[in-house]
Every structure is written in structure tokens, then in C-alpha cells.
Structure 1
């Protein structure tokens, strides 16, 4: 081992995913101990066993191990510290409150010049007090580019501008910035923003001029959300509570929207989004959202899903193909997921299946089927194919549990009809598995 080149030894240590293994290698080998100060990153993960054994005097505390490791490195570019399963940790355990201000002051100044990436997965917010961790990061780590924080209760009081930060992920934590005024002010060059289950927000407004990708998963009560972002390209929003969303993004091209709410969704307002090319729409009230969506001629690729297999009330706006093509008249590629197809089949009247003007622009369609009545499903498929005169490719995936007599009847009927120039592709889908395409 001692005869191996310095660069090879360093590469071996760099491939270890846990810095605790690095520490063990240092103890076991003098050669590894010699090269370890040249490592550029730390990833230390506390296991539940480490936590349970931490009361023993023979077990070195987690924070002490981390501080010892980081003090040995000459240059630190990346830090990742985490708890294996923080839900299992008892609250108010000081040695595992990784966003504690006192702990942060012990090591952040050490890496202030070189640190580019920081990830801290601490204790849930109900397990600790409000932390000044974010202001401390902004004070010491002015060259930070990527920041990921999971769990905790974060204050933004006295937070400084971070002009180098381009990527921010906040996950399952409480943020004391109800309207996001401080984040908008302090992160002028942010390009990627991910919020997952962030609490403490009331009427958040994203106004970041350089933002290009935004992913937001709303689980807590957030009455409104506004995004005024001149350079936003990708938007991914999942709402599990009713939220009124306003989007103004002239460069926006890819949008993913999920409204998994049982009550009628709050308004979705899309303004000045004339570059939208691809849209994924999934909701309990997909028909209602389409009724409120502005006519968008730029959308070329459209995916529809529905969590409502049939209209709840007579007055509910229904999901129909006629409505789809009225709102998105220039769609060339259409994917209809199983819930949306089931809702479409529930609308048996011919008006809902009238596609208008022959749909010459539609070139390919993919449908995911749960076959209950083979003749009904075939009838719906046939109506689409008869009207979409420009269609060249159709992909049909049948649910795995429906493979058998009913799928055979459906397949036979499809093959018995002739649609010249149409290329068929058959597949099998299951909810928790990747699609299996047979040809």
C-alpha cells in the first residue's frame, strides 16, 4: 500500500461515500493518513446505531468527529453532513442539531474561502429551536454555489447577499420568510430553486431575475404563490393543498402541474407565457383547469392525467378531447395517462369526442388503458383515429392486470380495422414499474 502513487491513494479515498470510512482507512494505513489532507470533500453520515451508542464514553460524538475531519483538510470544496433517519432521533439532542449556530461557527470560518457545495440534513423543525444557520452561511461562505438544507427551523434575520449561489434546495423545513422578500433580495443570481414541503410561508412571491428552473411541492397551507420570473424555463409545481398560483414567465417552455386536492382548486393564472412548448397537467379537476387555461398555440407536447374517473357533479366541467384541442390547437404529440382516459371514456356523448377540423397537426398519440369494456375502449380509440387524419404513430399500453381475454378482444378489433399509414406500438404498464413496450 505504501508504494502506491499519491494520486491513486487519493482517488481511492475520494471514492468512499462516507467520511467515517475515510477515518477508518487513515487509522489502518499510514499511506492513507498521509494523503487524506488533500481530499476536497467531506460526507459524514450519522447512523441510528451511532446515536444510540453516543452515550458511551468510548464512542466519539458525531460533531467531534466531523470537526476533527474538517480540521485535517487543507482545502474543502464540498461538505455533506446528514442523519441516516432523523425521524428516529429523539428531539433536542444537541450533538445532532446540525444547524445549530454554535456548531456552525466552529467550522464555517474554516471553509469560508473554498466551499462551493454544502448539504446539511438535520433534525425535523419540531425537534429544535429557530436557527441562524442560514445567515451564518451567508456571512462566511460567499463563494458557495450549491446549497441544500433538509429539516430545521431557519431564520433569515441579518442574512447577507450571496451573489455566487446558483442552486438552492430547501426540504421539509420551516422558513421564517413569509413572503420570501429576503431570499429574493439576497439571491440575485439564483438559477435553480427547489422547495419541498417548506412551512412558514404565507403569500410567497418569487421574483428572481436569473431563475431558470423552479420545483415547488406544496404540502402546507399556502393561500397564494406568485412567480414573476423573466428567465424561467422549467416549472414543476405539485399542490396537495388548495393554492392560487400566478405565473408570469415569458421564457417558460416546460411546465409540470399536479393538483392533488379533493376540493375545487384555486385559480391557476398563466400570463405572458408565449414560449410554452411542453405541458404536463394532472389534477382531480383536469377538466376545470382546462376551462380556465388560456388558449395556448405554442404547446406542442401535451400530457394529461386525471384523478377523477367520472364527473363528481353535473355542473363540473368535464375533460373532453374537444376542450383539449380548443385550448391547445397546435399539439403534435399527445399522451393520455390512464386516469385521464378513464374520465374521457366516461363522457359517452359524441360532442365530447368531436375533435374539430380533422386535427391534421397531431402526429403521435400515446394512451394508457385499463380495459373494462373492450368494445367501448375500441370505439373511443376509433373515433380519435378516424378524425386525426395527420396521425402517423399510436402507442397503446394496456394495464398488466388486464392482459387476457378482454385485451385480446380489444387488440383483435384494432387490427381488424385499417388506418392506412398508421404505425402501431403496443405495451404493458403497471403503476410501480417501468413501461414494457413489445415492439
Structure 2
């Protein structure tokens, strides 16, 4: 009987290496290493390695003794075995991220992946070739201590181009320049007061910056000729945010309103603003006159009015009032009591933006429209004679069936140019969503597309 033939014996070495690169997961690569000498050599030449710390390993570490190789040691074993890693992912399993932090875990440093000594160890091993890095730390523990990971990477990984960091406390002081860094993503990160200003100095070539659920920032002064896409999501109030971005085309601002916000972006075409302006806060948008799409979620409309007056080319607009409280699971929890139920000036929008063809209405603004209708039954007149509007999308949390249907009928009949109507009902509305949709089919004369939503709205027609 013939001996089984190994993969490396029937395929060219370059093709075997390509197959190993598609494996990526370090556990599977380790298994390949023990199959044959040929596969072990192929693994040594892979470019992409991913290591995931599983929850079962965490549970074993808590109860002890360990029967597996410690996770950090497993990382070192792999990065020292591979000759040239260009893409590295180190992650704590998502299920483990949900663990509530316990004080007796502080000694379990095997799960603190941004620990400086550990970062230095693997960064020195992969530094000469590393171009892409993603590191998801054990946030419940890692957020307790600062890490100079960016400074370490700047000193050891000169070719680094893209970086994604999640769940850690960054110390960004005195970082050398990362000249090739073009893409940075920070998610669930604590930063020092001037952390984003420091980032701007040490990563001057960034063309994409995504900052999501970041807290602790007090000052963000970002000037860049290369930035094209930016998402700025700050969870705590900053004092000063200054964005001088002459070539940015997409900008998303989702944050607590800073004391002072100044944006200069003459090439901006797509902007999303979710920010409730506070009394006394200074908000200025300068040199913005070429917008094609605007997503605006706030009940303070002075900024909205200035934007629509200066941007006659606007084709798509989403408007909302942030008065609806939703839980982490998307469940509706009620109407926030202190948010003004204002309605933007639709006539101003029509007059200033003759190219506007798509309007999307969020659940808070829909509630404001219903409230206005109950007080002034002719509120829907604001939509009449809107010759450019072709596509209307509404997201509704149904509290009163009769009011909801009345406003839907009024608006669908009031826009003579309307070609497409989309109605999305919240899955946990106080009034049953399926019942609402059946009633819509019976009482809305205009043909429409329908569906449900819970955690997220439908933004499929927008470029974000």
C-alpha cells in the first residue's frame, strides 16, 4: 500500500505558503507544523498570523493549574517561528470581553495584551516586517493601566501602515513619528487629555482615522493634508476640537458637544453629525459648500440651517431628534424628558437645496412630527409642493396607531413628486409592529416598502 503523499510534495512551495496564509489562525498553523517538515517550512513563510485567547483558557487560569501553554508564551512561540509577519492579529475572545472585572484578576497579566514588556518582546520579533496590526485587549483589566504601545510600535515597527487598537488606556506622550501609518482605528479606548493631538503629530500621513467610544480626550487639534475619512466618536466632553482637513471627503462626528468645535473641510461631501449642542458651546463649520449627503441627529438646528443654506448640491438628508432612549440591545426604553421636540424648517430645506431627492426621518423626529400633528393637525403642509423629493424613508416607534397612520397618510399625500416610500417599524414598539404594517397596507394609498428595525436604522441609501 502506497504511503500518503504530503501536500508539499504535490504542490509548488509558493502555493503551499499561500494556502498556509489563508489558514491564519495560529492554532491551525501549529498543527500544520507537526504534520511534516515541508509544512513546517511553509508556515515559517506565512505573512498573516492571528492568535485568539479563548474564554476556556481564562477560566482555567482562574481555577488553575494551567495545562496549556500560557497565551503570551504561545504568541512568542509563533512570532519567533515565522520569518516575516506582515499582518498580525492578537485578540481576546469576544465572549471573554463580557466578563465583569474582579479585583483578584489583577495578577492575571497573561490577559493584559498591551502590557509594555510583552509588547516590546513580540514587537522586536516582528518589527522589521510588520505592516498591519490589530490588537483587542481584555478591556476590563487593560483599561486600568496605561500602555505606551504606540511609542513602542514607532520605535520597533518602521513599516507599520494600519493599526487597530481596542480596550486599553493609551499613553501617547513623546511618540516618535510613524511615517507610513495611513489607517488608525481606536475603539473603546481611554486616552490622556491631549491624546488625539499627540496622534496627529506622530502619524502625519494618516488618511483614515476612526475613533469610536473613546473617553478622556480634552483637546483634539488635528491638521492633515492627507486625511480623507474621519470618524470622531468621543464619549466624554472635550474642551476643544479643531479639525483643519482640506482634503477630507467623509466626516462623522458622534460625540458629546465640546466647549468649542471648529471644522474647516472645503472638500467635504458626506457628513454625519450626532451631537446635541449645549448652551454656551461654540460650534463652527467653515468652508463647507459641496455637501452631497448630510446626516444630522440633534434638536438644536442653528448649525443645520447654516449647513443647508451653504450647500445647494445636497441630494440626501437624514434628520433626527435624539429624544428616544434605546438600550444596548436596541429595546425602546422611553422618551427622554429634557430633549426639545423641535421640527427643522422643511421649507428652508426645500428652498435651499433644490437637488434634494432623498429624505430619511429618524424615530425621534417622527415622534416630534406626531406630537406636532396632535397639536396642529395641518403640520404635514410643510411637505407640500416639494418638486425634487422622490424618496422618503421613515423610522417609527409606534406609540399611538391612529396618530401614526394619520401622519403617514398626510405626508404620503402631501408630496406630489414622491416615487418611493419606505416605512420601518421598531420591533419592540408598544403597538405591535406586524399589526402596524398590516394597517399601513390597508390605509396608506401610496405603494411602500416596509420592514422592522431594532438596533440600527436603515442607512443603505447613504454612503456611510
- TM-score of the pair, normalised by structure 2: 0.79
Q: Distance in 2 between matches of 1:312 and 1:327?
A: 32
Q: Secondary structure at the match of 2:382?
A: coil
User: Which position in structure 2 is the counterpart of 1:72?
Assistant: 81
What stretches of structure 1 of length at least 5 have no aligned partner?
416-422
Work out the CA distance in 2 between the residues paired with 1:33 and 1:340. Answer: 60
Task: Provide the aligned C-alpha RMSD in A.
Answer: 3.4
From 33, 38, 50, the equivalent of 1:43 is: 50
| Alpha-carbon offset, residue 122 of structure 1 | 2.3
Shift of 1:77: 0.5
What residue in structure 2 maps to residue 365 of structure 1? 392
1:221 to 233, 237, 244: 237
Counterpart selection for 2:262 from 246, 260, 264: 246
Match among 88, 91, 95 for residue 106 of structure 2: 91
Question: Counterparts of 1:366 and 1:356 in 2: how far apart (Å)?
Answer: 14
Q: With structure 1 as the length reference, what TM-score do the two structures score? A: 0.83
Deviation at 1:248, TM superposition (A): 1.5
Q: Retained in 2: the 8 A contact 1:219–1:241?
A: no
Tell me the residue number matched to 1:211: 227
Q: Deviations 1:370-391 (Å, cap 9, x if unpaired)?
A: 5566664454345444553433
Length, aligned pairs only: 425
User: Does residue 450 of structure 2 align to residue 427 of structure 1?
Assistant: yes
Are 1:277 and 2:292 counterparts?
A: yes
Q: Measured at CA, do residues 56 and 27 of structure 1 come closer, stay the same or move farther in structure 2, by a change above 3 Å?
A: farther
Shift, 1:39, TM fit: 0.8
SS at match of 1:172: strand
Look up the match of 1:388: 415
Stretch moving more, 324-333 or 103-112: 324-333
Task: Extract unaligned runs of 5+ from structure 2.
Answer: 325-334, 459-464
Matches within 5 A, 1:18-167: 18-54=25-61, 56=65, 58-84=67-93, 85-86=96-97, 88=99, 90-124=105-139, 129-167=145-183
Tell me the CA shift for residue 204 of structure 1: 1.2
Cα pair 1:167 1:192 within 8 Å, conserved: yes
Q: CA deviation at 1:216?
A: 2.0
1:272-421 map, 5 Å: 272-283=287-298, 285=299, 290=304, 293=307, 295=309, 296-308=311-323, 317-319=342-344, 321-322=346-347, 324-325=349-350, 328=353, 330-348=355-373, 349=376, 352-355=379-382, 358-370=385-397, 376-398=403-425, 401-404=432-435, 407-408=437-438, 410-415=440-445
Aligned equivalents of 1:52, 1:373: Cα separation in 2: 49
